[in-house]
Amino acid sequence: MNSMQYYSPNTLDEYHKIYSELSGKDIIVFSGGTDLMIGRYDLPQDAVIIDISRIDELKGIEIKEDKIFIGSCTTLNEILYSHKIQNDIPILIKAIKTMASEQVRNRATIGGNIGNASPAGDTITPLVVLEVRVEIFSPESNEVRTIPIKSLFCGPCATTLKKGEIITKIIIPLSKDKDVFYYFRKIGQRNAMTITKASLSAIAKYSDGKIEWIKLASGSVSPVVKRISKTEEFLKGKVLTPAVIDEAREMIAKEISPITDIRSTKAFRLLITKNLLGDCLYYLIRQQNI
């Protein structure tokens, strides 16, 4: 392998200083490397690697007031084993449990999963329905800003991040609503270690036999993960009868835009997304009857 230039800053401030001396060079932000190592021969050899894995500010999970902050370099297993996340954000636990393997989850970071911006990225749909904000550090200005996660993605594997910018934190608002229902399910080639062909994340509040509100996001069925807002709006205030569920299944199919690729076909993705929504809504009814 050719020698690539790389830096391993210990602080964001150090990164800012390094950046100002790199005038014009391409930058590859490198975290756990579980995505990047596989394509390492295709990386532009004149780019500079910025290894952010030694920056302590980017690690760990913290609760402050009504928010949970997850550092972008926190590994998927650190999140999986965190009591805070287990208690307060079970949908994220459910999603991470389906991801990769023990070996990969010990290296893969949440910032890398979001930064990779794959429509199949399994932490993304839960984070979209949780309406999280992401904090971004600009090495140019040496400042941070926060944006809603939905403004981060602009195409399959493309983000709105400018050159050298890194995600520093994921900020999850803690819900004041009690008894919120959550759902995550992904469908792949097999059960374990599988890339998502289609997935669905939902959180909802059900009261007096009606859906008070529901938030939905589908994975792998549109160029960027986004909320399924028409179907959400349709379900609001509804009693979940089989007819309503059938109508919602038809609606979600119109709101997504799946493609045929090496992993699946458009028709199959449409069908399983409809089935996932049906599964989710029937599960909601069962939960209410317990």
Ligand X SMILES: Cc1cc2nc3c(=O)[nH]c(=O)nc-3n(C[C@H](O)[C@H](O)[C@H](O)COP(=O)(O)OP(=O)(O)OC[C@H]3O[C@@H](n4cnc5c(N)ncnc54)[C@H](O)[C@@H]3O)c2cc1C
Interatomic CA distance for residues 256 and 228, integer angstroms:
8
Helix (H) or strand (E) holding 104: helix 102-105
By CB under 8 A, residue 104 contacts other proteins: yes
Restricted to residues 143-172, the positions that interact with ligand X (CB under 6 A) are 161, 166-167
Closest to ligand X by CB, 60 or 278: 60
Residue 138 touches ligand X, criterion: CB under 6 A: no
Residue 271 CB coordination number (10 Å): 15
Contact 20, 27 (CB under 8 A): no
* Partner interacting with residue 103 (select from ligand X, other proteins, none; CB below 5-8 Å by kind): other proteins
Residue 121 interacting entry, from ligand X, other proteins, none, C-beta within 5 to 8 Å by type: ligand X
The one-letter amino acid code at 270 reads L
Q: What is the CA radius of gyration of the chain?
A: 20
- Residue 124 is encoded by which pair of tokens? 């993304």
Rule CB under 6 A: choose which of 9, 49, 70, 72 binds ligand X.
Answer: 72
Closest chain position to ligand X (CB): 112
Instruction: Mark the segment that binds ligand X (CB under 6 A) among 81-89, 103-111, 264-272, 281-289.
Output: 103-111
Binding flag, residue 106, ligand X (CB under 6 A) = no
Residue 72's binding partner among ligand X, other proteins, none (Cβ under 5 to 8 angstroms by kind) is ligand X
258 binding ligand X? (CB under 6 A): no
Q: Is 109 in the site for ligand X (CB under 6 A)?
A: yes
**Which single residue is written with the structure tokens 């069962």?**
286
Residues 6+ apart with CB under 8 A from 96: 76, 79, 80, 105, 122, 123
For the chain, the residue count is 290
What residues does 239 pair with on adjacent strands? 210
- Residues at the site binding other proteins, with contacts judged by CB under 8 A: 1-4, 6, 8, 30, 33-34, 37-38, 40, 43, 49, 51, 53, 77, 97, 100-104, 106-107, 192-193
